[in-house]
Every structure is written in C-alpha cells, then in structure tokens.
A and B are shown apart, each in its own frame.
Chain A
Amino acid sequence: MLLTNLGLSSTGIVNARHRNTGLTGRRVSPRARRWLEGISLWLAVLLFLFVHPVYAEASETGHEGAGEFHFVDDAGQRLGSATLLNTDYKVTVSGLIADTRLRQSFRNTSQQWREGVFVFPLPENASVYGMTMTAGERVIVGEIHEKQEAKRQYTQAKEEGRKVARVDQQRPNLFTTRMANIPPGETITVELNYQQAVRYQSGEFELRLPTTLTPRYMPGQALDNGPAQWSGGWATPTTQVPDADQISPFTVLPEDVGPDSHRATIALEINAGLPVSRVSSPSHRISSTWNGNTVEVAPESDAVLMDRDLVVRWAPARGMEPAAAVFHEQWQGEDYLLALVVPGLNRDQQLARELVFVIDTSGSMAGESIRQARQALLRGLDTLGPDDRFNVIQFNSQTHALFMESVPASANNIARARRYVKGLNADGGTEMAPALDAALDDKHGDGENTSAARVRQVVFITDGAVGNEAALFGRISNKLGSSRLFTVGIGSAPNMHFMREAARYGRGTYTAISDLSDVARPLDELFGKMQSPVLTDIAVSWPGQTATTEAFPGRIGDLFRGEPMVQVVRGLPGKGELEVSGLLPDGSQWQQSLRLDQAANGKGLHRHWAKQKINSLMDSGLTGQVDEDAQAEVTRLGLKYQLMTKYTSFLAQDKTPSRPAEETLAADSVPTLLPAGSQGTMLRYPQTATLSPLLIAIGLVGLMFSAAITLLQRRVFA
C-alpha cells in the first residue's frame, strides 16, 4: 500500500513537472527540454505498468483471510498453532495391566476464544475408562454417553458458550479430543485414564506409548461432495475411507511448533510383582530407579518431543521369568480371572518353507523407515535355508514382484534379491490390497507335492500408514488359505493396531523396529518364532465352566515360541485347576494345568474383560457393517463399564456459560509432529517469486523521483 501511495504521489509530481518544464522552457535549451520530456514520458509509462500489478494484487488479497486455519501466515511460513499442547503420561504397571493417566493441556495463546481439535494416538489395545476436564479452578468429571448424544450435547454447549470437552474414538488406536470455548490466554486440561495389557513374550515385557502418528494414505476415489472444504484434516473423504478428514491431522516439524508445544513428560512405575533385572528402551534414553520390586522409569530429558513412540522393555531376573500367572479381581460382586500360561516350546523343527517378503515402498516410508525396512528384509533373506523357496514383493501405488513365482533360495537368487532390495526407494501411494492378494496367492506353487510339504509364510514389512485397516483385515482373513502372515512395524510411529490385527487375522505374529540400531533383536525374535514349531488348536477349560461362561478371547490364536496364552474370564471363582491343551506340528498333544487358588490381586481386570468382549463383537464388522445387535451390545458394555468405544464417547461440560455471546469462536486444529526420521509426504509449496519486480519498480519510481527533483531544482535555482 505504501508503494501505491508513493506511485500516486510521484505521478502527481510528473504532472506538475510537465507544467514546470513549460514554465522554465525559456531557461533550458529546447534540445535538453525535449530530452527531458521524452525521459519523463517513458518513465511515466513504465510507472503505470508497475503500478497496475499492485492494484491487481490488492484485489487478489481482498477475499482471502476468511479461513480459520492459521498455522501458516501470509508468507506461507508455518506459524506456531494458536493452541499450545503439552502432555503428561503417568503410567503404573501392575502385573500385566498398565494403567495410564494422560493429561493433555491446551493453552490458547491467541486473543480469541478457541475451539481446539486434537487427533492423537493411544496404544492399540488401550481401553479409555475415565476423563476429566480442568479449567482453572474448576474440575469437571466427564461422563460416558452414546456418541451421537455426546456430539449433540457438545454442539449445544459450544453454542451456548459453555466450556466443554469431548473425546471420541476414531480407530482402536486413534482418538480425537475437542474442547470448545477456551478463553484467550487460558489453559484447559483434559485428563484421560486408560489401561492396556502389557505384551509379554520370551521372558520380556514391553510397553509402547505412541505420541504421534504417521500420516496415513487414504485409498479410494475422493467422495464428490462439492468443493473441497477444509475440515480439520489434510485428507478429504474417499470411497474407501469415508472419515479420512477425521484421521488426518496436519503434521508439522518440531521447529514449527516452537519450544513450548508438543512436549511430553513421562513417568512409569513398574510393579511387575517379581524382581526386575533390567529396563531398556530402544527409542529414548531412560533412567531407572529401583525401589524394592518397584522400578521407576523416566526419560532422561524432562520433556521429550512427541515425535516417536516410547518403547520400554523390562525383564525379570534370570530364572524368574514367569511361566504361568493368575490374577483375580472382584468388581460389582462378580469375579474376574486373568490367566497366563507360557507353553515351553523347544526349537527343534526345520521344515522347508516358502517365504514371501512384502515390503512397503510408499511415500510414507521415505527417510529412515525405508532404510529400516531394507535392513529388515536383508536380515530376513539371511534366514533362508537351502531347501526354502522365496520371493520379494514391493508395493506402493503398484505392486511389483521380483520373481514371477517363488524361487529356490539358491545363492544366485538370494544375491539377486539382495541387489533388488538395496535399490528400493520409497515414493507413491500405499495400495495395500493388491499387495496382500499377490502375497497370499499361493496358486503359483510348482507342484502340489512340494507346496503341500512347505510352510508358507508371508513377512509384511510396513509402517501401516493406511486409513482402510478394517477392509484389509477382511481381505487377509478371506484370502489367507494355508499361509501365515507376519507383520513388521517400521518407523518412529508405526500403526501398531494394523500390525497386531493383521497378524492375528493372518495367524501369525508381529513385531516392530523403532530404530536402525534396534533391528537385530526384534527381528531375530520374529524369525526365530517363524522357524520354531507352532502350537495350534489351543483349548482352555476353566473349572466350573458352563455354556454361559464368557472367556475372552473366545478362540485362542496359534502360539509361537515364547508367546503366552492369555485369557480373561468372568463369573468364575478362583478355585480348581485350569487346563490348557494344544497340538504340536508333529501331531503330539501338549497339555498344562494351572492352579487358580493362588491368584494374585489384579486391577482393572473387569475393564480388560469388557474390552476383550467388545473387540470380539467388533470383529464381526470386519467384512461389512457391525450388525445392530452387536452395536447395541457394544454400546451397553461401553456404558456399563465406562469404556470408550466406537459408539460411546466421553463428554465433560461446564454448567454455566463463560464465553460472552458477542465473542466469536475460532476453530483450531492442533497438528501432530512428523514422526522422527520420516520425510513426510506432505510437501509445502516452495517460494517461487523473486524480489526482481519489486526492486525494478522501486528503482524506476526512485529514479523518476530523482529526475523530478532535478527538474524542480533547476527551475528554482537556475
């Protein structure tokens, strides 16, 4: 605008000068006068040429700025979000259940009233059972409602200007917190309580706390619903992922959010119930303090960046690894029992195998992830025996197999595969379905005799960054045949829900790599399991079991080496003996019994049971919609056990309005951090203009200005 004024005023001077030259004509020679007139005319023409775009631009910027999305300023540079986020995790592990109190604080740094929306991950097996909203002095305990009802009440409170917070489940491991009416300059804290089962395998416990998510690929055609409108996520709904906009928070780099946001303080207290000998973490530097049987663990830095999962592993003292355990809890007059039995399987099997490695080379794998994935695959190739057959399949937008069909693991073929793997790069989409089809299709076997004798195993190496998980699980369970599917999670924030469930439907098991330096251990564990005998047809019989006894999971999946059988049951007293039996690959029977009368006290077993029951009900929706009965039953369980489900949400609302009716409410979607080491698929548009036109304009205007002054001066002083 300054420039426009300058331009206009100098135009005025030009006009004035025309008159002036006329007046001073007698004193300047006619030749010089003509020369000066010519120059000024040209300059005036040039000036108009450059003033025009200034107007054009002014009208261009007039209609923008109506959007409410303020992460990026006019210059296209990212600004810190107006809502600062900090989280605090306090985890208490007792036995097999980890209970977490998660506090999310949202500080409104703007001058406006805000509504904040935050999409965040939780562990894939988390059951959220409590929520509290704290605004200044006021503490409001959240209540569980049916999702639609919570939504309605939230909208109402939002419009009436009352402080309100709501937490919804988008995916089993993906949730959304919404808070409306955060006053300018104030902080609202949403506290969530959730519990999860700790993973125990091969004598080691593992707990994973996700803090961010890898941006997911949304397959399918964009749903045609008018012009694309910004709705809180970077993705628009597609035919295969109708809620794409709900699960695609913008991802930003740590430097974009500033030093005060997206930091987490984490503290763990481990009461394993037995002496813990070592605690380690492949993802963070941690410090541990022993206090009897309790270990207090915390990352060395006070506030860690929320750009990767925190993984903590702990192992009992040598020789103290539990082979069986029983926990008991009484809740509302009913007994809940959780039993864990580790079958002692020996590694003595060398069956010929057909191994199919599938590697995700989509754009979300770019950066550190693809290096980890290549490393994982190369390690997998090392485990091939001389009698094995194998193939390598990569997929992004397209699926490509190295060999037409599985080939013998000859030195030549393996060398070729190694070269192929080393040359893999990550770009494009994540079209997982065709890759699964190609990997699970075992019709290419070179003869019935050989393929029948072979164990067919598929190793699926991916970050699981897709939005259509449920459809993929359905596909796996339909096409599995006699194969087994093993998943390897890659990157700083893999979608562990996908890893676990894909492996479950694929009758395999899963693992995850957090870091290039942590490739060996999880993979050796996984490949070891794949080469060891598998316990199948597992049957569990509880003493006093009747037809109505509900034990979950209802059907125990096959157990690999080092994996425990875990089942939770309701309504049985802790008496008698539990019988667990299974079938070994050589046809022999495996059997173990466990006395239940020495059960240790457990906490949160009732929620664990309800969660397991909800999971089994939700499984029915895999191939299509969850039927209405199941939906009603899930809602009922959610309300009874105060658990967040797909159909129940937590809501906390203030009773009195705090926002004056005349103040407006601006929506602010809080971004998540790009997982560490990931290149990110969301690319900012580069800066593509130079200062040249501006400089030329200023130069010309200035020169004209100088010329005008010269003329004036000559008139005055000559």
Chain B
Amino acid sequence: MNRLILLLATTFATVLAVGLWIPFKALVAQELLELAWAESQARQQQTRPWPWADTWPVARLTLPETGQSLIVLEGAHGESLAFGPGQVIGNGGQAGPVVIAGHRDTHFRGLQHLETGSRVQLQSRDGDWRIFRVDRIRVVDSRHEQINTAQLPRDSLLLVTCYPFDGLENNGPLRYVVEATAESLVTADEARSALPVEAVAGT
C-alpha cells in the first residue's frame, strides 16, 4: 500500500515538476538568449543561442508597463516559443509589419496588463528602437479569423497570445491580439545618449 502511495505521489510530483519546468525553462532560456542577442548585435549576423537550436534571436521586445524585456526568436513553432516569443512575420524589427506570438503562460502573460495607449518597444539587430502605441486589443476566434498579412499596414505590430490568460486548455480557439502602430524611431546612437546613467555606468 505504502509503495502504491509512493508511486502515486512520485508520478504526480513528476507531472508537477514537468509543469513547473516549462515556465522555468522559459525564464532561464531568456537569460541565455540575452547573450546570443548581444552577440548577434555585435556581429550583426544570425547567432544561434546554442549550436543545435533551430531558431535565433531577431529582436528585443520591451513592455515598459510591466517592466518586461524579452528576446524575440525567429518563427512561432513549438521549439522557439518554449524559449521566447516568436516572430511570425517581420523583418527583424525593421520596416514592414511585425507579428509576434508568445505563450500566454510564460512570456506573454504580461500582455493582459497592456491597455490602449500603452507603449511597446521593439529593438532590431542594428540597435534601432521602434516605439509602438497600442491602438486596439481584441479577442479573436482563430477558427473564424486569420491574419491577412496583405492588409496589415507596414508600421503595425501584432502581439498574439492565447486567451483566456488563466485557461487550462492548451489548444483553445481564442486568441488575444494586441494591435499597435509605430510612433517613432530611436536610432541606436540616440538610444545610447539617452540611456539612463546607471546603465552607462554599468558598462
């Protein structure tokens, strides 16, 4: 009997550990990605965070509202989303519409705190920051709606995650879509000069 209980307890502890492993991995991977991002910015080329990775950092996304800073990876397939938000379409934070998707339980949990008028910043590999303003937030049913990339304005940013945020179902049909429009561009040099003192001191 004791053995059975032990077996049961171990099984559920493992399930719990696997469940906790996903957010943990998401958290730790971002730290590793920071290095890869710094390297790809320095070398101005695609840098894989680890040799067997099938994705690479393409941009940095910051949500000043929540104080989050995330490294965006190429592609929105399972492997890339496990480590960071994935760029579905976009040209590495440069011109053209950008669509970024992220897991609602990990990286994009913070999207629920965004409101119309919030600012979102996106840094491309060359260091330029594009600042977006959130125009609209809506919940779409992915069964009835698709993203029509041809209709997207060039200066738009779409952040996509699953909805509801505290749902348990991992393949539900609803999506939370944050639509933002580019407001201004801060080039790498400007950003450096405008950087807070402690950041400069830290280098």
User: Can you list 16 residue pairs at the A/B interface with Cβ under 8 Å?
Assistant: A54-B168, A72-B173, A73-B143, A398-B154, A683-B149, A685-B175, A687-B78, A687-B171, A689-B104, A689-B105, A692-B106, A695-B15, A695-B19, A696-B19, A702-B8, A706-B9
Q: Is A554 located at the chain interface by the 8 A CB criterion? A: no
Given known pairs A692-B105, A709-B8, the reply for A429 and B150 (CB within 8 Å) is: yes
- CB within 8 A of B23: which of A75, A429, A692, A697? A692
Judge whether B106 and A690 touch: CB under 8 Å. yes
Judge whether A698 and B19 touch: CB under 8 Å. yes
Binary per-residue interface labels of chain B (93-117) against chain A in the complex, 1 for a CB within 8 Å, 0 otherwise:
0001101011111101000000000
Q: How far is the CA of A425 from the CA of B150 in the complex (A)?
A: 13
Taking CB atoms, residues of chain A closer than 8 Å to B88 are 683, 686
Q: How far is the CA of A168 from the CA of B54 in the complex (A)?
A: 48
Q: How far is the CA of A576 from the CA of B200 in the complex (A)?
A: 94
Closest B residue to A3 by beta carbon equals: B168
Binary per-residue interface labels of chain A (661-690) against chain B in the complex, 1 for a CB within 8 Å, 0 otherwise:
000000000000000000001111111111
Given known pairs A684-B146, A698-B15, A706-B5, the reply for A690 and B97 (CB within 8 Å) is: no
Nearest CB of B to A240, in Å:
13
- CB within 8 A of B12: which of A76, A215, A683, A702? A702
Q: Is B203 located at the chain interface by the 8 A CB criterion? A: no
Nearest CB of B to A463, in Å:
11
Q: Is A700 located at the chain interface by the 8 A CB criterion? A: yes
Taking CB atoms, residues of chain A closer than 8 Å to B170 are 687, 689-691, 694
**Which of B125-133, B159-167, B187-195 contacts its partner?**
B159-167
Q: How far is the CA of A363 from the CA of B151 in the complex (A)?
A: 9
Q: How far is the CA of A282 from the CA of B29 in the complex (A)?
A: 49
Taking CB atoms, residues of chain A closer than 8 Å to B148 are 234-235, 681-683
Q: Is B20 located at the chain interface by the 8 A CB criterion? A: yes
Q: How far is the CA of A697 from the CA of B88 in the complex (A)?
A: 30
Judge whether B81 and A688 touch: CB under 8 Å. yes
The CB with the most chain A CB atoms within 10 A, among B12, B81, B86, is that of B12
Q: How many A residues are at the interface, by size bracket?
A: 35 or more
Q: What are the 4 tightest A-B residue pairs by CB atom distance, in nearest-first order?
A: A699-B16, A702-B12, A695-B19, A696-B19
Taking CB atoms, residues of chain B closer than 8 Å to A56 are 164, 166-167
- CB within 8 A of A700: which of B8, B16, B172? B16
Inter-chain pairs besides A76-B172, A692-B106, 7 sampled, C-beta below 8 Å: A52-B166, A60-B167, A687-B171, A689-B105, A692-B19, A699-B15, A703-B16
Closest A residue to B11 by beta carbon equals: A702
Judge whether A72 and B19 touch: CB under 8 Å. no
Q: Is A74 located at the chain interface by the 8 A CB criterion? A: yes
Taking CB atoms, residues of chain B closer than 8 Å to A125 are none
Judge whether B105 and A693 touch: CB under 8 Å. yes
Q: Is A104 located at the chain interface by the 8 A CB criterion? A: no
Taking CB atoms, residues of chain B closer than 8 Å to A72 are 142-144, 173
Taking CB atoms, residues of chain A closer than 8 Å to B175 are 685, 688
- CB within 8 A of A60: which of B96, B149, B164? B164
Q: How far is the CA of A427 from the CA of B166 in the complex (A)?
A: 35
Q: How far is the CA of A470 from the CA of B181 in the complex (A)?
A: 32
Judge whether B172 and A695 touch: CB under 8 Å. no
Judge whether A427 and B97 touch: CB under 8 Å. yes
Binary per-residue interface labels of chain A (61-85) against chain B in the complex, 1 for a CB within 8 Å, 0 otherwise:
1001001010111111000000000
Judge whether B15 and A75 touch: CB under 8 Å. no
Q: How far is the CA of A689 from the CA of B170 in the complex (A)?
A: 5
Q: Is A230 located at the chain interface by the 8 A CB criterion? A: yes
Q: Is B140 located at the chain interface by the 8 A CB criterion? A: yes
Judge whether A427 and B169 touch: CB under 8 Å. no
Q: Is B17 located at the chain interface by the 8 A CB criterion? A: yes
Q: Which of A596-622 contact B (CB under 8 A)?
A: none
Q: Is B42 located at the chain interface by the 8 A CB criterion? A: no
Q: Is A362 located at the chain interface by the 8 A CB criterion? A: yes
Nearest CB of A to B30, in Å:
15
Q: Is A372 located at the chain interface by the 8 A CB criterion? A: no
Q: Is A657 located at the chain interface by the 8 A CB criterion? A: no
Judge whether B16 and A427 touch: CB under 8 Å. no
Q: How far is the CA of A397 from the CA of B86 in the complex (A)?
A: 25
Q: Is B147 located at the chain interface by the 8 A CB criterion? A: yes
Q: Is B76 located at the chain interface by the 8 A CB criterion? A: yes
Binary per-residue interface labels of chain A (385-403) against chain B in the complex, 1 for a CB within 8 Å, 0 otherwise:
0000000000001100000
Q: Is B137 located at the chain interface by the 8 A CB criterion? A: no
Q: How far is the CA of A20 from the CA of B95 in the complex (A)?
A: 66
Taking CB atoms, residues of chain B closer than 8 Å to A683 are 88-89, 99, 146-149
Nearest CB of A to B160, in Å:
6
Judge whether A75 and B171 touch: CB under 8 Å. yes
Taking CB atoms, residues of chain A closer than 8 Å to B9 are 702-703, 706-707, 710
Judge whether B1 and A713 touch: CB under 8 Å. yes
Taking CB atoms, residues of chain B closer than 8 Å to A397 are 153-154
Closest A residue to B23 by beta carbon equals: A692
Q: Is B35 located at the chain interface by the 8 A CB criterion? A: no
Judge whether A688 and B168 touch: CB under 8 Å. no
Taking CB atoms, residues of chain A closer than 8 Å to B140 are 685
Given known pairs A72-B142, A683-B149, A685-B175, the reply for A691 and B22 (CB within 8 Å) is: yes
Q: Is A428 located at the chain interface by the 8 A CB criterion? A: yes
Q: How far is the CA of A64 from the CA of B172 in the complex (A)?
A: 12
Q: Is B32 located at the chain interface by the 8 A CB criterion? A: no
Q: How far is the CA of A56 from the CA of B82 in the complex (A)?
A: 25
Taking CB atoms, residues of chain A closer than 8 Å to B162 are 687-689
Judge whether B5 and A430 touch: CB under 8 Å. no
- CB within 8 A of A695: which of B2, B16, B78? B16
Judge whether B149 and A427 touch: CB under 8 Å. yes
Closest B residue to A709 by beta carbon equals: B5
Closest B residue to A215 by beta carbon equals: B150
Q: Is A87 located at the chain interface by the 8 A CB criterion? A: no
Q: Is A259 located at the chain interface by the 8 A CB criterion? A: no
Q: Is A106 located at the chain interface by the 8 A CB criterion? A: no
Q: Is A57 located at the chain interface by the 8 A CB criterion? A: yes
Q: Is B38 located at the chain interface by the 8 A CB criterion? A: no
Q: Is B186 located at the chain interface by the 8 A CB criterion? A: no
Q: How far is the CA of A693 from the CA of B175 in the complex (A)?
A: 17
Judge whether B153 and A76 touch: CB under 8 Å. no
Nearest CB of A to B29, in Å:
13
Nearest CB of A to B124, in Å:
16
Q: Is B174 located at the chain interface by the 8 A CB criterion? A: yes
Closest B residue to A363 by beta carbon equals: B150
Given known pairs A69-B143, A702-B12, the reply for A693 and B19 (CB within 8 Å) is: yes
Binary per-residue interface labels of chain A (181-217) against chain B in the complex, 1 for a CB within 8 Å, 0 otherwise:
0000000000000000000000000000000000101
Q: How far is the CA of A217 from the CA of B145 in the complex (A)?
A: 16
Judge whether A428 and B150 touch: CB under 8 Å. yes
Judge whether B16 and A696 touch: CB under 8 Å. yes
Nearest CB of A to B147, in Å:
4
Q: How far is the CA of A693 from the CA of B167 in the complex (A)?
A: 8
Q: How far is the CA of A54 from the CA of B142 in the complex (A)?
A: 20
Closest B residue to A251 by beta carbon equals: B146
Q: Is A129 located at the chain interface by the 8 A CB criterion? A: no
Q: How far is the CA of A425 from the CA of B166 in the complex (A)?
A: 39
Taking CB atoms, residues of chain A closer than 8 Å to B183 are none
Given known pairs A76-B142, A363-B149, A683-B149, the reply for A693 and B16 (CB within 8 Å) is: no
Judge whether A690 and B103 touch: CB under 8 Å. yes
Nearest CB of B to A500, in Å:
23
Binary per-residue interface labels of chain A (432-445) against chain B in the complex, 1 for a CB within 8 Å, 0 otherwise:
00000000000000
Taking CB atoms, residues of chain B closer than 8 Å to A75 are 171-173
Closest B residue to A465 by beta carbon equals: B150
Q: How far is the CA of A74 from the CA of B16 in the complex (A)?
A: 26
Q: Is A271 located at the chain interface by the 8 A CB criterion? A: no
Q: Is A364 located at the chain interface by the 8 A CB criterion? A: yes
Taking CB atoms, residues of chain B closer than 8 Å to A687 are 78, 162, 170-171
Q: Is A705 located at the chain interface by the 8 A CB criterion? A: yes
Binary per-residue interface labels of chain A (482-523) against chain B in the complex, 1 for a CB within 8 Å, 0 otherwise:
000000000000000000000000000000000000000000
Given known pairs A230-B144, A693-B19, A713-B5, the reply for A688 and B154 (CB within 8 Å) is: no
Taking CB atoms, residues of chain B closer than 8 Å to A73 are 143
Q: Is A585 located at the chain interface by the 8 A CB criterion? A: no
Closest B residue to A4 by beta carbon equals: B168
